Amino acid sequence: MVKITVLIDNTPAPQGSGLLSEHGLSMLVETPQGAVLVDTGASDVFLENASKMGLDLSGARFCFISHGHSDHTGGLRGFMERY
């Protein structure tokens, strides 16, 4: 089974959730073979959201960047520094 969790996107987060949103995208894709981080949003805010959701991104086997726009790559430095 595959589980996809949106860590950040431009849809406003549910009120009271404590989650943040921004123009950009980051998702965690979890499979039986391991987890893959897909894109890193426009900043490292996705890391904060992952923490609030109780997700440990240190187990991600790969970080897949879909394309070079800053709203998909902006948090890469923060991810690399943390993990």
pTM: 0.93
What would the pLDDT profile of 20-77 be if each residue is shown by its tens digit? 999 999 999 999 999 999 999 999 999 999 999 999 999 999 999 999 999 999 999 9
**Helices marked H in 1-83:** 45-52, 70-73, 76-82
Say if residue 80's pLDDT is above 90: yes
Cα–Cα distance measured from residue 17 to residue 4, given in angstroms and rounded to the nearest whole number: 18
R_g of the chain, CA atoms, integer Å: 12
66: which 2 tokens?
């879909």
